[in-house]
Chain A
């Protein structure tokens, strides 16, 4: 085994230094370093796009660094594969839990290293059952019915099963990637207790989270990433959620956000006490013509579900949606689109653009009525419209007939927006519009948002990039656990103020202090 020979012991069990990683033209990491001391809980924070997930994927052996060095236990490695990394004792607790849904807990735990009844080729189900029940009870105080299937477990229980799977390999390092995103708070607390205990037993923990309060509570050390670099590594005892938040955001990039001054028009979209069971409740807001309204909130805060409701993908359980005085009930995306609503979804490559349709076909997909007479398509008109929008949005593509798959992320996003421009939609719901988009295209998208507002459209931007939100919106509403807890005027707000609300750091201060 790999642990039998150690050339020398170092203090750092993981050391990534000066890592550079480019994807096509976009620079995801430009000299990021991360050193994790043995036996500590190390937090890793950063805004979306700061380079966290790229860094973790490099460590997991899923990507290869363009430059820089990865050392594990003091030995430098190149060409890491997921198997190799696991062999070295580093295990990942992924957000999407890699457990077979129809397996029992015992089967899922022991898949790939199943115990056999001695002297036979048969599975020792009894042993699997006992052993898993034993481990789960001893470590986690978790008692599940013998026959429980993975499918029937809560998110937290699934996570525990995944952690247990990793523990069976006697790992040296466990990497948690946003582990609490799908947990309710009692489950999260349980997880924290568990993590501390694992650390006390000598396992090193790398903990990635958006919840700064968690980081402060749980971690010994924290590394803050910003724009593909590590900007600070601090002992948590000597810092605070506010300070970490301040490090995460940029302060010198006002020029990134070209926000024109626009006189707000009449109320356009009004929500009156809108609610969706178990997701959000009592959401009332007004969006005016010419206004750019920002929404933000962590996963599960309800902000994303609100956008989905407005576009008819979820059905509200209470309240009303009013468009220019006309009460509407978006029961389907088709109904919502008919009311001039447009959604630019976060999962662009799945929902936003059809990768294997051409730029033209994508551009006109939501507005085929405009290009057909008696059902017959006018392909010339389609191409003309596509060319016009390619020009207007500066979409970089070989031709109007090129597949959208061949475009960069930013240009794909412009196509996803162009689709609605072609339909002449007027209420734009933009869900994380700049994720996976390079800087230049970001600025172009922001400019476009400003233009749309100037022409009298109403725009709601949901983003977890606070700088972006404050830069391009008029107001920002913060969602926390299903409700709007705060409204900020964008020009009068600092990013760390928003971040504090959104991560619950303020809650901590308010109630403890």
Chain B
């Protein structure tokens, strides 16, 4: 009773307290929500606007053939970006101390080289597939061990692994193209139903599979908890290091898969896989803008991948130098990150 009396007393020197009472906290949350909505819808609007512009300026853009092709071309980058997204989810959004896998692109290069070399050596597709995926997984395992056991920050650990892996690829291929053609590879790079490349189906199927796990199972939910608030995850009884290791293994596997796809797409292993790294990083980070909570999601990453691919495609169709794409990517990432940073700053006030 006495407390109630104190609290209700009108003569309390408590106008501040009353103000605090009268100002419901959700007001700030609402403002933030609106801003997030604007950011998300805005980026979707930009995405759609760009597509609409291209389809008006270059009628071929909207054809099934073209869309199928773009989807097929996105498959490799898409699989890599999805692998990276899993790592970012589990490691948290602080890229330096948290989730980053710089070895992904060279992982793809080495896995592709392993595949192509085995085919050259007369091995069948089954052996080659297993060895390529195994290569990817092994790289993921090394990353996981370096990060969770040796305690090296992911940025540096995966940087060093990247060097080793890229070097091994050079050793294996002597920096040359290793051609590889098998029935399986031909099937993967062929055109499937409705005149759309098989690679496009693979990308969509793979995205759906990973999205199902990451966005719709308890495992995925826990992965987010581990990345965003490890203490809370620990308090909920989760073994944080196990999840982080798992994420790097998954990303390694994605590297291996991307390797197989690239052997198929390019009819062999080629050099320069490492060049894909930074665009993939940018794509995975861009994807966060498509999520309501401004977190990385598998669907968002797919959208970002497609956006970039359509941009390149549209520029090509319009005879605009596709070199602008990297600038657009850079500006987008800066805009997105600035917007989210400013949002968070505002949110903290």
Contacts and interface: CB of A to CB of B under 8 A. Distances in A.
B1 A217 contact: yes
Interface stretch (A93-101, A131-139, A260-268, A320-328): A93-101
Contacts of A112: 222, 236-238
B13 to A, nearest CB: 5
B218 interface: yes
B282 to A, nearest CB: 22
Nearest to B15: A281
Interface in A99-123: 99-103, 107, 111-112, 114, 116, 121-123
Interface stretch (A148-156, A287-295, A438-446): A148-156
Interface stretch (A15-23, A403-411, A505-513): A505-513
A476 to B, nearest CB: 17
A511 B13 contact: no
Contacts of A107: 221
A223 interface: no
Interface residues of A, number: 49
Contacts of A122: 212, 216-217
B5 A512 contact: yes
A192 B12 contact: no
A484 B320 CA distance: 67
Interface in B13-63: 13-17, 19-21, 23-26, 29, 32-33
A278 interface: yes
Nearest to A99: B232
**In this complex, which of B3, B6, B19, B23 has the most chain A Cβ atoms within 10 angstroms of its Cβ?**
B3
B323 interface: no
A483 interface: yes
B4 interface: yes
Contacts of B292: 147
A111 B347 contact: no
Nearest to B9: A511
Contacts of B4: 189
Given A122-B212, A485-B13, A511-B11, A99 B1 contact: no
A508 B293 contact: no
A34 to B, nearest CB: 23
Interface in A421-439: none
A217 B2 contact: yes
B184 interface: no
B222 A154 contact: no
A83 B25 contact: no
A213 B4 CA distance: 10
A281 B13 CA distance: 10
A481 B19 CA distance: 11
Nearest to B226: A100
A507 B13 CA distance: 10
B225 interface: yes
Contacts of A153: 25, 29
B325 interface: no
A98 B7 CA distance: 29
Q: Which residue, B6, B225, B294, has most C-beta atoms of chain A within 10 A?
A: B6
Q: What DSSP secondary structure best describes chain A's contact surface?
A: mixed
A186 interface: yes
B236 A482 contact: no
A278 B9 contact: no
Interface string A148-176: 01011111000000000000000000000
Contacts of A481: 12-14, 16-17
Contacts of A508: 2-3, 5-6
A151 B347 contact: yes
Interface in B266-295: 292-295
Contacts of B1: 217, 512
A43 to B, nearest CB: 13
A152 B33 contact: yes
A482 B225 contact: no
Contact of A186 (B16, B21, B228, B293): B21
22 contacts: A83-B237, A99-B232, A103-B221, A103-B224, A122-B216, A151-B347, A152-B26, A152-B33, A189-B3, A189-B7, A217-B2, A218-B3, A278-B20, A278-B23, A280-B16, A281-B15, A482-B14, A482-B16, A482-B17, A483-B15, A507-B12, A508-B3
Given A213-B3, A482-B17, A512-B1, 15 more contacts: A98-B235, A102-B295, A107-B221, A116-B217, A116-B218, A154-B26, A155-B25, A185-B7, A186-B21, A302-B16, A480-B14, A482-B16, A508-B2, A508-B3, A508-B5
10 closest A-B pairs by CB? A482-B16, A112-B236, A152-B29, A114-B218, A154-B25, A102-B293, A98-B232, A217-B3, A481-B17, A508-B2
Interface of B: 1-7, 9, 11-17, 19-21, 23-26, 29, 32-33, 212, 216-218, 220-222, 224-225, 228-229, 231-233, 235-238, 292-295, 347
Interface of A: 82-83, 98-103, 107, 111-112, 114, 116, 121-123, 147, 149, 151-155, 184-186, 188-189, 192, 213-214, 216-218, 278-281, 302, 480-483, 485, 504, 507-508, 511-512
